[in-house]
Amino acid sequence: MNQIGFPLVSLAIALPALGALLVWLTPASQTRVARGFAMLSALGALATAVALVARFDASQAGYQLVDSVAWVAAWGLSYTVSVDGISLWLVVLTTLLTPVSLMASWNAGGAHPRLQQALLLLLAGAMTGVFVAQDMLLFYVFFELTLVPTALLIGIWGGDDRRRAAQTFLVYTFAGSVVMLVGIVGLYQAHGVQTGIYTFDLATVLASLQLGAVQLPLETERMLFAAFLIAFAVKLPLWPFHSWLTTAHTAAPSSGVVDIAGMVIKIGAYGLIRFNVQLFPQAAAWAAPAIGVLAVIGVLYGGWIAFGQRDMKRILAFATVSHLGLIVLGIFALNPQGLSGALLQMISSGITTGALFLIVGMLAARRDSRDVQHFGGIWGQAPFLGSIALVMVLASIGLPGLSGFIGEFTIMLGAWISPVLGWTYVSIAVIGVVLAAAYLLRMFRLVFMGPPREAGAPLRDANTLESLMLGVLLVPTLVIGLYPNALLLMMEPSVQQIAQQIGQTLASR
Amino acid sequence: MSDLRWVIWLIPTLPLLGAVATLLLARGERAAGMIATAAAGLSFVATLVAVWVLQTMPAEAARIESVAWTWIDVASFRVSFGLLFDRLTAVMALLITGVGSLIHVYSLGYMRGDSRPERFFAYLNLFVAAMLLLVMADNLVLLFLGWEGVGLCSFLLIGHYFDRRSVPPGIVPAEAATKAFVVNRIGDAAFLLAIMLIFSRLGSVSFLPNATLGTPGYLERAAELAFVDVQLGPLGSIGVLTAIGLLMLIGVCGKSAQLPLSTWLPDAMAGPTPVSALIHAATMVTAGVYLIVRNHGVFSAAPTAASWVVGVGAVTALLAALSAATQFDLKRVLAYSTISQLGYMVAAVGMGAYAAGMFHLLTHGLFKALLFLAAGALIHALHDVQDMRRMGGLRQHLPFTFRVYLVGALALAGIFPLAGFWSKDEIIAHAWFTAQNPAIALILIASAAVTAFYMGRQVALIFYGQPREAHAAAHDPHGSMRWPLVVLAVGAAIGGVLNLPGVHWLSSWLEPTLAEPEAVYSVGKAVMAVIVTAIAVGGGYLGWWLYARVVDGNIVPGKTDPALYYLGDIWRGAELGWGLDWLYDRAIVRPYRQCSAFLGRVVDGEALDGLLVGGTGRTFVALARGVRAVQSGHARRGLAVFLLGVVVLLAALLAMTMR
């Protein structure tokens, strides 16, 4: 067991999975009971995550609250889950967005409500699993497990293009992850050969690499790095692998249910930190300038295309591509500022873009369209919806005082002072600040401002449920904007450790 | 009196709380107006108390510092959420809360009958709070919060009539609001780079050493970098401080509406008139000037950057003044006038005349607020007529408005002994005698002549000549719209006493903060003042005489200015703001939009999605088809592929462990 004698981390995975099972077993007529089970398990997971934060020792860098059970001992395969400064807040984000996505699912209605909720819970459990898995093979299993519910959610409830989108999503991300599997096995093999210990345990492998018990030849390290990079770059997605993301968001149900759940698919960025940067610092420093270029292209490319779109979900999808570019830039700054900024931005972008997807869903339900040109002047009719949308737009374009700025600024600062990137990257990426204001305010202006369109009844403002789910997302937006240190302090030791490791590598080069 | 230091937190917090309370609690115009006005007024009182506390401190240590919490703390990068209230901040805060409160009071009357008074007053309060945070921040990042905050508030208030198709003279409020924010963002992006460059070279973003966080202050270290260069690769190299200064200058150009980023301000009048007064006088546009004064250590050590600042300021002063001379819209004249006057301030602080720049900032704050509020009274009286061609001869109908407007116009024109005379003269004298830069001085003198001309023209068009349209019902403002005008008129008239030659209240008050030598007065300067005033009187009289006596009968609503006949394209160019909007639309906005559509449709749709994704997908499906024995169905296919992967993995594992 672990130091507190209670499998808290495992509970965060098990509760949503259990909830999914209960929802599935509830008779179809008992909608309320099913909802109750779903929400209870989601809130239980959230409470577990809060407990994790409370029990987390902010002074330690390594894995904490470890639950470990041998699985296939002969292969060094175990069920080991834990949290550290990198994964802690991502678990909180996942468990926070799950109840919101359930509420969105209730609000949107639609066919097979039980199945939708069960799949959302499964997705939540799998994603939590990805963040807490300390065993590489377990990570892979959870990684793949997230694909199935996502593809089903798009494929069953999506729009016109849903089949193609679901297929693209599955095939594309799976193509990447198979390469990662090769990487995992390669690392396992290399570790086993050199130390005689065949294990998938990340902590052990990391320690061996850091202490020099395992010394990877330069080419091997770069090959392994590349294997993980391909998987995560596709998963992120990093430009130019982003098409599946924009297709998936466009085809996903208008309600935003899947989009918000999918917001947590910052798994790619997490994987980059956990594997590429932490395990292979030398290769990371070697590849950083090239990846930085792709990241900066992504920032500008996403922002530029978002400006010309009429479908609000496509605008937000390309905005996500732009955000992810910045996150990757932060990760490959390879210093505490860049890494912490990237983590904060992952959380902030998940919350703000997620909220905007929900708002688009609410608008689409009222007007049966997501085209910005079918709206206009609705701020007066729906003041609450408009104001929340504006706050989220502003948070997303990085207005200081709201969540987006902190991550954005720390990332750029980190990249600027990074020995592997430098000011040139930042002075180009900073254009994204202007582009973001241009495309998001354009969307806000066309939808909420201007003269109201004559046709149709006045648009209804948010109902209680809608207000509640947007309110839930508003709180962290403000808290992170004004007191990001609450999060940063807990990330600090883990992030520092990674940065130190890289610093040593760079110094010895 | 150190136990009263906490009072500085009240200064920005009160209007912030006022904004929240107005938005959430206030129902109805009266409640909203009262809460917001009380919050602004109390903030002014708190500022007075803070100034008094400051006064009791020894001059060399006259500052109040207070850190509420550590905002960002990542490794070496530490930012406090803390305030710094020193003598420079005190001057700014007095202007912001003082003039800001008067504008609140005025709005009580002006906004009567508005459909969204709660939002209006809440945003007004928020505007004041953001500007206060800007001038009170103890570090650059928190300053940036206020900097972007005023940008947001300008967006909200310019867009107050967001659902109107257009407001006179043909501006779409929603577009004007977005334009203001996005143009400002260009400056903000450069400002961000400046902050990062400062941190990377000086290791701190705090102005002064911060004991609570243990961070050094970057201002005192700036001089160390005077001869350090940044390498720009193939572009050569540039001094670090020069780079910082130039990046900040771009930020200043955005926020203070200097060329070439000035285009947002003329459109910003789409908001209600009190908002224009707030933007032009008390908040927002003065932020750029404040930024340079606050970073005077950087600019004095970076002569190249400083000379760019002077150049931008002087050119803006002249070109914007010429634009102001050609407008027929009442508020647009004043808008270009603000750009021009800010040019004076920017040029002044670029030359190192910090006290003179601050002096002009203060007097301009008084008379420009007066002019805009008086313009609001006119617009009210004439039922939303803003076109000066539809006015004329109004001094009989509106004697009070005429008098206060005249005070403002004379102060702006720099006529002795009103406020504008003293402050403008100080800048010109500094350019000629201290900076020894006759070219700049001549440009500024020429701008002064044009300034007087356009104010003479405006007064003539509005108040003199024959009434070109009947405004029988027009009446002077009452109550809450009247006495702020009186207060401001008195201020615009006697504001010069703040820094009279030989008395120097403002200069000596700021001296400990700015360490700027006091200006010495000489006979030469007095002669200069007489000459400049004579030129201003001449320009003003010319403007008045031409439009009240000569071309009076040729002014027709909807028709062009008679001067166009003589000046042709120059007049037209000035009228259109030198075609900047046109240029940006053709050179940037349209190509950007078209490229965006092209990128989205062709590059992303066809090339990337079609080839890369489609290709990968097809290859992969083709591969999978070979080994799978599962019937169609996409989810199943995915599952099959997944299972296949697991099988491959297990096989590989077995093979390796068996070895």
pLDDT in tens, B522-545: 888 888 889 999 999 999 999 999
Could you read off the pLDDT of B108-138 as tens digits, one per residue? 988 888 888 899 999 999 999 999 999 999 9
State the nearest Cα–Cα gap between A5 and chain B, in angstroms. 32
All residues of chain A having their beta carbon less than 8 Å from the beta carbon of residue B149 are 399-401
Which residue is closest to A162 within chain B, CA to CA? B634
Distance, in Å, from the CA atom of A467 to the CA atom of A388, rounded to the nearest integer, reads 9
Of the candidates A358, A357, A283, the one whose C-alpha atom is nearest the C-alpha of residue A319 is: A357
All residues of chain A having their beta carbon less than 8 Å from the beta carbon of residue B606 are none
Q: Tell me which of A146, A167, A168, A243 to substitute to probe the interface with B (most B C-beta atoms closer than 10 Å).
A: A243
Quick one: A82 exposed, middle or buried, by C-beta within 10 A (0-12, 13-18, 19+)? buried
Q: Is A426 on the interface with B (CB under 8 A)?
A: yes
Which residue is closest to A394 within chain B, CA to CA? B152
CB-closest option in A75, A171, A489 to B653: A75
Which residue is closest to B193 within chain A, CA to CA? A427
User: From the centroid of its chain, how far is CA B611?
Assistant: 48
Give me the residues of chain A with pLDDT under 50, please.
1
All residues of chain B having their beta carbon less than 8 Å from the beta carbon of residue A308 are 593, 596-597, 599-600
Q: Tell me which of B141, B634, B658 to substitute to probe the interface with A (most A C-beta atoms closer than 10 Å).
A: B634
Provide φ and ψ at B475, rounded to 5°: -140, 155
All residues of chain B having their beta carbon less than 8 Å from the beta carbon of residue A452 are 163
User: From the centroid of its chain, how far is CA A482?
Assistant: 22
Provide φ and ψ at B286, rounded to 5°: -75, -10
Please report which confidence band the pLDDT of residue B99 belongs to, taking 50, 70 and 90 as the band edges: very high
If one compares B630 and A141, the residue with the highest pLDDT of the two is A141
Query: Does the beta-carbon distance from A305 to B162 stay under 8 Å?
Result: no
Tell me the percentage of chain A whose pLDDT exceeds 90: 32
User: What residue has token string 């803006």?
Assistant: B316
Query: Does the beta-carbon distance from A416 to B162 stay under 8 Å?
Result: no
The H or E element containing residue B421 is helix B419-429
* Per-residue model confidence (pLDDT) at position B640: 55
Contact B149, A401 (CB under 8 A): yes
* Per-residue model confidence (pLDDT) at position A465: 86
Q: Where are the domains of chain B?
A: 302-567, 618-659
All residues of chain B having their beta carbon less than 8 Å from the beta carbon of residue A484 are 71-72
Contact B178, B262 (CB under 8 A): no
Contact B540, B452 (CB under 8 A): yes
pLDDT at position B641 over 60: no
pTM of the model: 0.91
pLDDT at position B585 over 60: yes
State the nearest Cα–Cα gap between A348 and chain B, in angstroms. 15
Axis crossing angle, helix B419-429 with helix B479-494, rounded to the nearest 10: 40
Could you read off the pLDDT of B180-206 as tens digits, one per residue? 999 999 999 999 999 999 999 888 999
Work out the number of other CB atoms within 10 angstroms of the CB of residue A3. Answer: 10
CB-closest option in A140, A377, A485 to B72: A485
Tell me the percentage of chain B whose pLDDT exceeds 90: 42
What are the structure tokens assigned to A426, written together?
A: 């930042």
* Per-residue model confidence (pLDDT) at position B632: 46
Distance, in Å, from the CA atom of A82 to the CA atom of A64, rounded to the nearest integer, reads 6
Mean pLDDT score of chain B? 86
Contact A454, A339 (CB under 8 A): no
* Per-residue model confidence (pLDDT) at position B123: 93
Distance, in Å, from the CA atom of A323 to the CA atom of A408, rounded to the nearest integer, reads 9
Of A241-250, B208-217, B290-299, give the range with the top mean pLDDT. Answer: B290-299
Contact A275, A233 (CB under 8 A): no
User: What residue has token string 């005190």?
Assistant: B90
Contact B443, B390 (CB under 8 A): no
Could you read off the pLDDT of B317-352 as tens digits, one per residue? 999 999 998 888 899 999 999 999 999 999 999 998
If one compares B501 and A52, the residue with the highest pLDDT of the two is A52
Query: Does the beta-carbon distance from A380 to B163 stay under 8 Å?
Result: yes
Q: Is A27 on the interface with B (CB under 8 A)?
A: no
Query: Does the beta-carbon distance from A74 to B197 stay under 8 Å?
Result: no
State the nearest Cα–Cα gap between A273 and chain B, in angstroms. 17
Distance, in Å, from the CA atom of B528 to the CA atom of B534, rounded to the nearest integer, reads 10
All residues of chain B having their beta carbon less than 8 Å from the beta carbon of residue A399 are 148-149, 152
CB-closest option in A163, A241, A336 to B634: A163
State the nearest Cα–Cα gap between B653 and chain A, in angstroms. 8
Distance, in Å, from the CA atom of A251 to the CA atom of A313, rounded to the nearest integer, reads 9
Of the candidates A387, A348, A392, the one whose C-alpha atom is nearest the C-alpha of residue A487 is: A348
- How many Cβ contacts (< 8 angstroms) between chains A and B? 218
Distance, in Å, from the CA atom of A356 to the CA atom of B584, rounded to the nearest integer, reads 30
Which residue is closest to B651 within chain A, CA to CA? A185
* Termini Cα distance of chain A: 40
CB-closest option in B145, B188, B612 to A401: B145
User: From the centroid of its chain, how far is CA A178?
Assistant: 20
Which residue is closest to B634 within chain A, CA to CA? A167
Of the candidates A335, A289, A337, the one whose C-alpha atom is nearest the C-alpha of residue A502 is: A335
All residues of chain A having their beta carbon less than 8 Å from the beta carbon of residue B177 are 445, 449
Query: Does the beta-carbon distance from B645 to A178 stay under 8 Å?
Result: yes
What are the structure tokens assigned to A420, written together?
A: 């592997």
DSSP B193-208: HHHHHHHHHHS--BSS
Contact A117, A102 (CB under 8 A): yes
CB-closest option in A189, A304, A431 to B599: A304
Task: Output DSSP code: residue B577.
Answer: G
Of the candidates A79, A199, A75, the one whose C-alpha atom is nearest the C-alpha of residue A134 is: A79
Please report which confidence band the pLDDT of residue B630 belongs to, taking 50, 70 and 90 as the band edges: very low
Which residue is closest to B616 within chain A, CA to CA? A172
CB-closest option in B182, B641, B653 to A437: B182
Q: Tell me which of A238, A315, A375, A417 to substitute to probe the interface with B (most B C-beta atoms closer than 10 Å).
A: A417
CB-closest option in B145, B609, B639 to A400: B145
Distance, in Å, from the CA atom of A147 to the CA atom of B635, rounded to the nearest integer, reads 10
* Per-residue model confidence (pLDDT) at position B658: 42
pLDDT at position B639 over 70: no
Of A75-89, A374-388, B37-51, B375-389, give the range with the top mean pLDDT. Answer: B37-51
Q: Is A197 on the interface with B (CB under 8 A)?
A: no
State the nearest Cα–Cα gap between A232 and chain B, in angstroms. 16
**Half-sphere exposure for B291 (CA within 13 Å, toward CB):** 35
Distance, in Å, from the CA atom of A333 to the CA atom of B278, rounded to the nearest integer, reads 42
* Cα A10 to Cα A52, A77, A102, A262, distances in angstroms: 11, 17, 21, 22
Which residue is closest to A497 within chain B, CA to CA? B75
Query: Does the beta-carbon distance from B612 to A163 stay under 8 Å?
Result: no
CB-closest option in B73, B600, B638 to A174: B638
Please report which confidence band the pLDDT of residue B269 belongs to, taking 50, 70 and 90 as the band edges: confident
All residues of chain A having their beta carbon less than 8 Å from the beta carbon of residue B172 are 450
CB-closest option in A243, A335, A485 to B73: A485
* Per-residue model confidence (pLDDT) at position B657: 45
User: What residue has token string 């006596």?
Assistant: B549
All residues of chain A having their beta carbon less than 8 Å from the beta carbon of residue B173 are 449
Q: What share of residues in chain B are helix, strand, coil (percent, to 5)?
A: 75, 5, 20
Quick one: average pLDDT of B593-597? 82
Q: Is A301 on the interface with B (CB under 8 A)?
A: yes
Q: What share of residues in chain A are helix, strand, coil (percent, to 5)?
A: 75, 5, 20
* Cα A26 to Cα A106, A142, B502, distances in angstroms: 16, 26, 89
